[in-house]
Amino acid sequence: MRSADLPEVRSIHLFQDMEEATFDAILKAAYFQTFPDHVDLIQEGDPADFLYVVVEGCVELFATSNDRETTMAMVPPIGTFILAATLKDAAYLMSARTCQRSRILMIPSEDIRAALKKDKAFAAAIIWELASCYRAVVKEHKSLKLRTGVERLANRLLRYHNDQGRNGSLLLPHDKRTLASLLGMAPENLSRAFNTLKPFGVKVDGARIHLDNLPALETLAKPNALIDDRTI
Amino acid sequence: MRSADLPEVRSIHLFQDMEEATFDAILKAAYFQTFPDHVDLIQEGDPADFLYVVVEGCVELFATSNDRETTMAMVPPIGTFILAATLKDAAYLMSARTCQRSRILMIPSEDIRAALKKDKAFAAAIIWELASCYRAVVKEHKSLKLRTGVERLANRLLRYHNDQGRNGSLLLPHDKRTLASLLGMAPENLSRAFNTLKPFGVKVDGARIHLDNLPALETLAKPNALIDDRTI
DNA sequence: AGGGGTAATTGATCAAAATCAACAGTGCGG
DNA sequence: CCGCACTGTTGATTTTGATCAATTACCCCT
């Protein structure tokens, strides 16, 4: 892999506390590859041979059943995916595809499992990461069960707005089809949900969204730290 | 705690491989208490002071937002809950209440965290447990996003039927209101969903359900191992 | 600049699910 | 035994969201 990426990979939570020797061993076993846009990386049901790290680009995790498909999560750099399947040596529950040209680090699952047995700090980091992933899905699940589509969109906009500096405007990080699927609605309904939010100061200009009446939007959204705050 | 319960607690996956000394230390720090029916054990947002183990009875995990409430999971004996919050020393994302008279083991979170630092086997068990919990929520989430209410019910019935010996009949483990909330639907819609399933051989007699046409039900349900099989 | 393809929007319609209201069945306590 | 509370069921209605169809807007490409 490019040596310039090394410190970045090392700096993510999962790897930062591990011993130098463990990190070296893992990197030695790993593959580093660049994929074009829209390439399938893994398919749900397949055995979890690798842990994936997105170094550049972006990866969509999605799931399928009954000819229906839904986006489960988007993984930006530097992020890992399907840690749980890797650790349990089980089948992937989600499929993954690139949604941009992406540089991906692939670490054989058995090397991950070997490393965590040897390296206490790595085991601790994995526990932390798994607990965080678990809580993230629980929050998603709560959102879907407790909120309407419009409310989910409103809160998602507030989240992006926070992430991007709270300056009254935000850029959607994914295209609207993907956002719709992520929020659990049809693309058409996302359009309509944006219209519903217009009286609450939400102006849409392509991927650029302006929030002109934050108090009104927050009144409608009723954001809840135990759903929307990803830091807890 | 009653010495008769000890082997049972010890036998669950989370505790079975840990060192004797670690188990003793944890038990010494733990509280063991019996609660009546319908007692609130924890409230979402509270700091995770304890890891809970249901030894007898049953506990409902639920979440709230906007004056709405939904059942997230039911924890039968012998099961633990809110492990992730305990490990991250974070706020609970879910509330818990007994739904029967229940005997509960409460282990201070700091003792859990101390134990996993000392005991490698315990750390490994926690990783396994967390990965399993994560995958369980992912499956729930997939079910909710990819299936209609009737489909979720059909698959849930097939699951209970499998658990209870595949003999053409099953007993609902919870009351119908709870089941409805668990499946993400209103109680009225659960009733109607049962009616929808009548032509597929589903006969309802209180909590006793008869499945008289398994092939037909399976055709409708389209069970999917990556959603419905809790063993993978 | 023109053309082709994709994403997004809009409208119309349909299906799914929530809500409101009423009522039957059950179990409990007086 | 009766009334009361609770669960579950049914019907009517509304809301929400999905689907189908058509159109528009926007890129990208040469």
| pLDDT tens readout for residues A114-123 | 999 999 999 9
Output the distance from B61 CA to D13 C1' rounded to whole Å.
33
| Mean residue pLDDT across chain B | 94
Mean pLDDT value of segment A9-18 = 91
| Closest residue to C16 measured CA to C1′ | B148
Q: Are the beta carbons of B141 and A144 separated by less than 8 Å?
A: yes
Instruction: Identify all chain A residues contacting B134, using CB atoms and an 8 Å cutoff.
Output: 84, 130, 133-134, 137
Question: Which domains are assigned to chain A?
Answer: 6-144 (2.60.120.10), 147-228 (1.10.10.10)
Interface test with B, best of A42, A80, A127 (most B CBs within 10 A): A127
State residue A8's pLDDT score.
82
Mean pLDDT value of segment B59-82 = 95
Q: Is residue B187's beta carbon less than 7 angstroms from any atom in nucleic acid strand D?
A: yes
Mean pLDDT value of segment B68-97 = 96
Q: What percent of chain B has pLDDT over 90?
A: 92
Model pLDDT for residues B156-194, shown as the tens digit of each residue? 999 999 999 999 999 999 999 999 999 999 999 999 999
The band of B7, judged by pLDDT with boundaries at 50, 70 and 90, is confident
Residue among B65, B72, B184 minimizing CB distance to A227 = B65
Q: What percent of chain A has pLDDT over 90?
A: 92
Residue A38 vs residues A31, A43, A58, A68, A230: alpha-carbon distances, Å = 20, 13, 10, 18, 27
Q: Is residue A57's beta carbon less than 7 angstroms from any atom in nucleic acid strand D?
A: no
Instruction: Identify all chain B residues contacting A232, using CB atoms and an 8 Å cutoff.
Output: 90-91
Output the distance from B189 CA to D9 C1' rounded to whole Å.
10
Which nucleotides on strand C sit less than 7 A from a protein beta carbon? 7-12, 16-21
Return the HEC string of chain B: CCCCCHHHHHHCHHHHCCCHHHHHHHHHHCEEEEECCCCEEECCCCECCEEEEEEECCEEEEEEECCEEEEEEEECCCEEECHHHHHHCCECCCEEEECCCEEEEEEEHHHHHHHHHHCHHHHHHHHHHHHHHHHHHHHHHHHHHHCCHHHHHHHHHHHHHHHCCCCCEEECCCCHHHHHHHHCCCHHHHHHHHHHHHHHCEEEECCEEEECCHHHHHHHHCCCHHHHCCCC
State residue A5's pLDDT score.
74
Q: Are the beta carbons of B124 and A128 separated by less than 8 Å?
A: no
- Interface A-B, measured as beta-carbon pairs within 8 A, has a size of 154
**Rounded-to-integer distance, Cα B11 and Cα B14, Å:** 8
pLDDT beyond 70 at B3: no
Strands B102-108 and B50-56: antiparallel
pLDDT beyond 70 at B60: yes
ipTM of the shown complex = 0.94
Output the distance from B67 CA to C28 C1' rounded to whole Å.
31
Output the distance from B169 CA to C29 C1' rounded to whole Å.
34
Model pLDDT for residues A61-96, shown as the tens digit of each residue? 999 998 999 999 999 999 999 999 999 999 999 999
Instruction: Identify all chain A residues contacting B144, using CB atoms and an 8 Å cutoff.
Output: 141, 144-145, 184
User: Any idea which nucleotide's C1' is nearest the CA of A206?
Assistant: C8
Model pLDDT for residues B16-43, shown as the tens digit of each residue? 999 999 999 999 999 999 999 999 999 9
Q: What percent of chain B has pLDDT over 70?
A: 99
Q: Are the beta carbons of B222 and A66 separated by less than 8 Å?
A: yes
Q: Are the beta carbons of B126 and A127 separated by less than 8 Å?
A: yes
